Chains A and B, each alone.
Chain A
Amino acid sequence: MSSKGKDLVTGHDAEHEYEAGLAVVAPDAIKDPGLEPHRVRMTDKSEKHAKNAERQVTAMFLASIVGSAFALWAYFAFPLSPTDLGTVRSNTLFLGLGITLGLFGIGVGAVHWAKTLMPDAEVSEARHQTRGSEETRARAIEIIDLANQESGFSRRKLIRRTLYGALAFFPLPGIIIFGDLGPNPADSLKHTMWRKGTRLTRDPYGTPIKATDVTLGSVFHVIPEGLNESDHKLEEKAKAAVLLVRVEPEILKESDERKGWSYDGIVAYSKICTHVGCPVALYEQHTHHLLCPCHQSTFDLTNACAVVFGPASRPLPQLPITVDAEGYLVAQSDFTEPVGPSFWER
């Protein structure tokens, strides 16, 4: 042990010195005094302390057994009751605490054992440069040369190049085979369920909304009528969700072409953020701003939902609405532009 502990062991391969680059190699650097002398622990000096440490380690291992046994007991002692969800908490807590003690006992015991009773004198071992010796490297090159000669890899160009070609082509079917992961979206992203005359209904129940139900300042989360019966409910909802708000008609700044899109101060805008598609679900009544909780893009409801803050760029698309003969709010058409996050060919 002590002979190995000497730090004179060296693994330096004198045969290869590397460039030091910009490093300053000072000729009069302060000399390495070698490993500091080992400090003896109490447990090394006194049998009493060693015995004590032994008892401590044993106690920890015993505690581990107790912990594991407790966990076994807790598994049965704290069953889950379908009527009392508090049982989930006690099951999790006591089972977990038991296992914790089972684990800690072993871990702390082992580390304590190593620190108090196993030798703590650091030893030094030679470290060799990663690079192989000149002899090894020469032999490696020889083997490669031999393999090359025996196979004719460099010499037989035609074989080599066609092999490269084959290797380049063979993965292609392996890529194209994933083509059916999903269809080409084509125009599906540009349309939603809204049609001329589709009633605006409450999310999630699907009950129609009368214009008179929408009081000043109130907000309705809206889905198109028939969405809940749709085959692709979530996909349709992810495009067709709408937010409906009523404000004083005179504060709406409407362009000429959108003059007829609102009804008596009631406006409907897509709820899907034009940034990355989160629902723009927060409405601030006194500023008339809509806020997306994901990235805080903010839209001005009175000004055609133009972006006033945040990473989004495009206004929320507006759904043209009116009322039908029974006074229910209906769409005049689908959205006139794609809703949701931007994409290249939109």
Chain B
Amino acid sequence: MSTATATKKKGGFLAGTANYLDERVGVAGILKEFGRKVFPDHWSFMLGEVALYSFLVLLLSGTFLTFWFQPSMVPVIYDGVYGPLKGADMSVAYSSTLDISFEVRGGLLMRQVHHWSALLFVAASGLHMLRIFFTGAFRKPREINWVVGFVLFVLGMAGGFTGYSLPDDLLSGNGLRIIDGMIKGIPFIGAYTSSLLFGGEFPGEAIVGRLYSLHIMLIPALILVFVAVHLFMVVIHKHTHYSGPGRRDDNVVGYPLMPVYVAKAGGFFFIVFGVIMLVAATFTINPVWSYGGYDPSPVSAGTQPDWYIGWLDGALRLAPTHLEFMVGNNTLSMNILLPMVVGIAFLVVVALYPFIEAWVTGDKREHHVLDRPRNAPTRTAIGAAGVTFYAVLWAGASTDLIATQFKMSLNHVLTTIQILLIVGPILAYIITKRTCLSLQRKDREIVLHGRESGRIIRMPHGEYIEVHEPLDEYEMYKLVDFKAYQPMLARPNDKGVITLRSRIRAKLSGFFFEERVEPVTATELEAAHDHKEIH
């Protein structure tokens, strides 16, 4: 009984609440475990945060919109306040979107907040992925988390596309028409699959309601689950840190969660929300009222999907003419299948990259110190090639606008982009790899001989030399803290056979590491210094 008196409430309301919570959910233990957990700090770590926070903004603004939006394709005659469309035929979905925009205070603001934060969510996820890729943060033990993040990126695109189609306006309706055409192009099951999706013939009266279920329930629920798994793994692994003095694979250097990180990350949520709000208040996005309701007959020139679908639309445009074949009595639409296959193959390579690199290097150690991109030249070059490939496809979605804006022939623009799709990534690979190797050599120079000071002095015997300023040990360590890898030869296994697998691995290891610059060692540094003294 004496313990009961000992834990009696002391110190007012806050202490009382803390005690209440601890006795029911063990909050003291949670705080003891996580309260001072260390998080490394770097601007590039904020990209993932931006994605997370814009998702929260999506949930908030999306919930607001559901209170007014009606996901129905029942035809109505518009009788709202927007004059130009008065009396027009449209669906309830489109009409309720107009009502949100024009008849609900803050409705247009929230629509724009929702759309802008969706764009930001996908953009930030993509940039976050690029950061992870170029710093090698996907290496063991984070390969699975890379895949989780990849799934989140794809879910983001799916969430975006399903939401984009909901207002049932002319622009999004044409987007759905394209999806319908793509699905119909799938051999054997295309026409039936399209009918299942649209509830019969396109456009039908079902698709908006169905996309709505996916958009407000299934996709956000999946995103929430994957975000939880994603963050859970971040806690398990602890965050990576950039290479530098005192940063090693067996420690984590940064600021404690409480109070610094809570203040910074918490504050950052409000900043992200604020930026979205500012953009939404001042810049129009998706003015559906100017497109009109969906009608399968009209279309406007210069139609484009939201930016993150652009690369897939570009892939469709870049397919060469006359790729459709007859197989017996059936039609095989390679002009649709080829872009789909290329798009899916690209995504699969992205998802599997960590496993490919791990197999090539055979490095089974845990990596918590990030690579500077230059210190992994082949990976960085592959990344640059991938980015270029994506960017060319994306540019492909704007062939018509490029042609009209720059007064060029549409045909030439398209052909150029088709060629660029093949040549661009190769060029990007070569240029990036050479650049990385040069930067590494420059780093070696700086470590061995110091920084050029620009100060020329004349020696007593008449020789002119430039004074080099030596680095301090912390700066120097930043430039030498990386591991080089050596390619290997294909070796026979126990039975004396060189397997195909080992041949491929040897080839790949040569491709990755044949050309490399190794970090300066202590011996080399000493030799360089001795050399200087002779001068």
Residues of A within 8 A of B (CB): 7, 9-12, 18-26, 28-36, 75, 78-80, 82-83, 85, 88, 91-93, 95-97, 99-101, 103-104, 106-111, 113-115, 118-120, 122-130, 178, 181-185, 188-189, 203-204, 221, 223, 232-235, 237-239, 241, 271-273, 275-279, 281-282, 293-296, 307, 309-314, 340-346
Contact = CB atoms under 8 A, between A and B. Distances in A.
Given A12-B250, A95-B109, A107-B273, A277 B410 contact: no
B270 to A, nearest CB: 3
A18 B250 CA distance: 13
A241 B330 contact: no
Contacts of B200: 182-183, 185, 235
The range of chain B's interface size is 35 or more
Nearest to A345: B330
Contacts, number: 392
Contact of A22 (B181, B201, B513): B513
Contacts of A184: 192, 195
A276 B319 CA distance: 12
Given A123-B255, A232-B201, A343-B184, A185 B108 contact: no
Interface of B: 37-38, 41, 75, 81-83, 101-106, 108-109, 112, 141, 174, 177-178, 180-182, 184-192, 194-204, 206, 236-238, 244-246, 248-256, 259-260, 263-264, 266-274, 277-278, 280-282, 294-303, 313, 316-324, 329-333, 335-336, 360-366, 368, 399-400, 410-411, 414, 473-474, 476-477, 480-481, 483-488, 509, 513, 518-523, 525
B181 A277 contact: yes
Contacts of B253: 7, 35, 122-125
For the residues of A in contact with B, the DSSP-based class is loop
A127 B249 contact: yes
* A183, A275, A276 interface centre (most CB from chain B within 10 Å): A276
8 contacts: A22-B487, A22-B488, A113-B263, A114-B260, A182-B204, A234-B296, A293-B299, A307-B322
Contact of A111 (B83, B201, B264, B518): B264
A181 B102 CA distance: 34
Contacts of A108: 267, 270-271
Most buried by A among B270, B280, B323: B270
A111 B296 CA distance: 51
Contact of A293 (B248, B278, B400): B400
A341 B180 contact: yes
Given A107-B272, A310-B414, 17 more contacts: A20-B363, A23-B484, A91-B109, A122-B41, A124-B38, A237-B295, A238-B177, A276-B316, A277-B184, A278-B178, A294-B174, A295-B313, A296-B414, A312-B335, A341-B184, A342-B331, A343-B190
A250 B473 CA distance: 86
Contacts of B274: 100-101, 103-104, 107
B263 A111 contact: yes
